[in-house]
Amino acid sequence: MDRAVLDKIIFYFKSMLSYKNYINDDIELLNKIYLILGKEEPQNYDRINNNTYKYFINDVIKITLEILGMLEKEERKYFFGQLPKFVKISLLDDNKKIRFLKELKQNEKTLVIRSLKYKDDEKIVLLDEINDEFFKIEIIKSIQSDDKKIELLENITSKKDRVSIIQSIQDDDKKIRILEDVTNKYSRITIIITIQDDNRKLEFLKQFESEEDRTQIIMSLQDDSKKLKLLEDIIDEENRTQIIKSLKDDDRKIKLLEEITKEKNRVQIIKSIKDDDKKIALLGSITKEIDITDIIKTIQDDNKKIKLLDSKMIEINRAHIIQSLQDDDKKIGLLATIRNQNTRYRIIEGLQIDDKKIEALSYLEDLDLKIKAIKTLNDYTKKDYVINKIDKNLNGVYQLIAEFENGNIYSYNKYNSINLPEGMTFGIEIECVGKYRELSPKYIGRWEREQDASIGKDGIEIVSPIMHDTKKSISEIYKINEILQRMGMEATERCGGHVHIGADYTKTEEGFKQLIELWTNAEEVYFLIANKPGERLRDYAVKYAIPISKRFEKADLSQTDSFLEDAKKVQAERETSLNLLNVNNKRNTIEFRVSNGTLDGDTWIENIRLYGRTVQLASELGKIVKKIEAGMELTEEEKVKYALKEMLKNDISLDAKMKVLMNLLFSKEERTIYQERYNTNKKLNEEEHILGLQFGKVDLSKVPERITDSKQKVGVQVLDLR
């Protein structure tokens, strides 16, 4: 297949669900793919109902498989790699579809669920295995039997979900019987407009006094003559406009247009006219340029649009018309008439064929805009070729990104495991700076690019998904950092290396209390071991990772019944070394903000281990306290662990605190890394006085004497703290 044709098809696939959630827009894109291939368009979906989504996704699957069958091996690999995730998942068998659903957005999940080939009884069994409420509702809606839907409806408590299921019932009589029990006006209208028989719909019309409510029902009728008869009783112009727009016959629309006085309403009706010439003939009745522009954009024939381009129009309106053209060559031919670089970029971004975008790059002078345009190319080989012409050091960036998105992330790394406890989750934020920051797409697989004002205008932040201690997560960390290095990015002194540990690992408030004690009494040590040996703490840590031990030293943590809420008030701001403000909110993480930004995979793994083990230890200490309070006997290991933590409160040397912390957190083999950090960075700090920070001492609870009555009893003789 010709690559330009394939690129255009890919463009339409990628546009599905990308900008809008309207199924009609996606049906139009699907029709364009059929037309390109010289095939008869799939059935015309006149009405939005339960089966519309099913027909659409099944047609998408059908045409995708046909295209794959037309292509040679390399073309097939290229095409499949460019497909949106929801299409790829829709091609799988039902069991695999269910497994991958969690990776999709809600509107994508709806389509994939509608593509399930499970029989009704199999879907009902599946409901018991699914916890996600959205999945359940969509599966119920996809069941073919109306009677089984109605049975399942009894267990649905959400009004919104009940209405959604009732809408999906195909039999009008059954739908109407259930409607008798629906009292909410909005819900009744939402269901009535899905009734298929116009006459049955009209039986309900007299129940609604509001014109606006009646208008919604009239608009949903299939018969134009019925709409026109009912239009006579509609007085409000906005409501009349909506009904006129819904008519199928252009001439009737034009005739009724004479009765419409407001220009905004006239524009809506003219835009809904299908015949280009009839639409153009009405342009003279519109006065505002922006409205004229909106109408011209809806014209189907490119040549007719171009003839209507007026040099006297303001540039942004001309640009909107150019953007709406179907033909790439015609768009490029008009680029020179647009002066604003950002506006030119938006036109180039909308080109459908890769080679045409490459051709149009010469119209962009700004490097960031040029790179943004290159990012929109489908073919990774072409992206690499063009980027390499800008800077040879960038060679292979997009190939790496392609490998990442296709799951080719595994290579030899120093670490294959972080050695975190089972059930603990984590995430990281990679802050970096560089002139080629725009090379990074919005998403690289599961990772998301964000802007962070604290880094500066040349900076970006790459945020990980929720991760677990698996080989896949670790490989992703290494590969993402490799991609950023290849892009020419670097971690400067403005960049932080923030690590988030899932707060749900710490089950009790006592665990958070132990975390505060552990962190605050060893905070200076944490500042010294947070970065690799010889790397000075960034100056911006004073502003964005403020020590908290002084704040907690004399704080009142008994103002409310919740220690955690009191601790958050003491912390006050998120830019502290330890951030608890995310706990129990949507993110629900404990954030550690001390470490410098880095693009070194080994350093990330070592930092995640450091902070993960800290949370693990605090959680274990919380359980030990509960045993003490319950009068239970501690194991020797528990006694040692608790007594060592208590020693951090004493007036012992920094070296002694380091030794205690290492014994609490790490095995002998693991300590070497952090000991080297401590020795080198402590010396560096003493020579250059880098930290210049103040640290406090915090005692939130006293350890019972029966645990600490002798060093022998608790086993702390293992440490020489003198």
Single-letter residue type at 42: P
For residues 506-510, give the mean pLDDT. Answer: 91
What pLDDT, on the 0 to 100 scale, is given for residue 720?
55
Q: Edge-to-edge strands of the sheet including 447-450?
A: 443-444, 447-450, 459-463, 426-433, 497-502, 589-592, 578-579
Map residue 699 onto helix, strand or coil.
Answer: coil
Write the DSSP string, 4-43.
HHHHHHHHHHHHTTTS---HHHHHHHHHHHHHHTT-PPPP
Burial class of 506 by CB neighbour count within 10 A (0 to 12, 13 to 18, 19+): buried
Q: Tell me: pLDDT of 405 over 90.
A: no
- pLDDT digits over 8-63, tens only? 999 999 888 875 557 778 888 898 999 899 988 876 665 455 578 888 888 999 99
Average confidence (pLDDT) over 612-628: 95
- In whole angstroms, give the CA distance from residue 595 to residue 609: 13
Q: Indicate whether 698 pLDDT > 90.
A: no
**363-373 mean pLDDT:** 93
**Pick the residue with more confidence: 282 or 690?**
282
- Whether the pLDDT of residue 171 is over 60: the answer is yes
Radius of gyration of the chain, Cα coordinates, nearest whole angstrom: 32
- pLDDT at position 718 is 45
| 182-194 pLDDT per residue, tens | 989 999 999 999 9
Confidence band for 689, pLDDT divided at 50, 70 and 90: low
Q: Which residue has the higher pLDDT, 453 or 676?
A: 676
Collapsing DSSP to helix, strand or coil, 443 comes out as strand
What is the model's pLDDT at position 554?
83
Share of the chain above pLDDT 90, in %: 68
Per-residue confidence (pLDDT) for residue 433, from 0 to 100: 94
In this prediction, residue 670 has a pLDDT band, given cuts at 50, 70 and 90, of very high
Asked if pLDDT for residue 282 goes beyond 60, the answer is: yes
CB 460 within 8 A of CB 451: yes
pLDDT at 711: 40
- Tell me the C-alpha distance between 267 and 285, whole Å: 9
| pLDDT attached to residue 44 | 60
User: How do residues 539-561 score in pLDDT, each as one tens digit?
Assistant: 888 889 999 999 998 888 877 78
Predicted confidence (pLDDT) at residue 441 exceeds the cutoff of 90: no
pLDDT at 46: 53
pLDDT tens-digit series, residues 342-358:
999 999 999 999 999 99
Domain boundaries, the chain: 496-716
Three-class SS state of 432: strand
**pTM of the predicted model, to two decimals?**
0.76
In the predicted structure, residue 673 carries a pLDDT above the cut 50: yes
**pLDDT band for position 715 (cuts 50, 70, 90):** very low
User: d(Cα 101, Cα 95) in Å, to the nearest integer?
Assistant: 10
Tokens at 110, concatenated? 């709806």
pLDDT bin (cut points 50, 70, 90) of residue 360 is: very high
Cα–Cα nearest to 262, from 239, 279, 281, 246: 239
Residue 160 CB partners (closer than 8 Å, separation 6+):
none
Calculate the average pLDDT of the chain: 90
The predicted structure's pLDDT at residue 242:
97
How many Å apart are CA 237 and CA 466, to the nearest integer?
51
User: In this predicted structure, what is the pLDDT of residue 713?
Assistant: 44
Percent of the chain surpassing pLDDT 70: 95
Is the pLDDT assigned to residue 474 strictly greater than 60? yes
Please count the helices (runs of H) and the strands (runs of E) in the chain. Answer: 41, 7
Cβ count near 120 (within 10 Å): 14
Q: Are 424 and 505 in contact (CB under 8 A)?
A: yes
Question: How confident is residue 694, by pLDDT bands cut at 50, 70 and 90?
Answer: confident
Residue-level pLDDT at 406:
80
Q: Which tens digit of pLDDT belongs to each residue from 141-151?
A: 999 999 999 99
| Span of 131-140, 659-668, 697-706 with lowest mean pLDDT | 697-706
Task: Using alpha carbons, list the distances in angstroms from residue 279 to 260, 288, 300, 509.
Answer: 16, 16, 10, 67
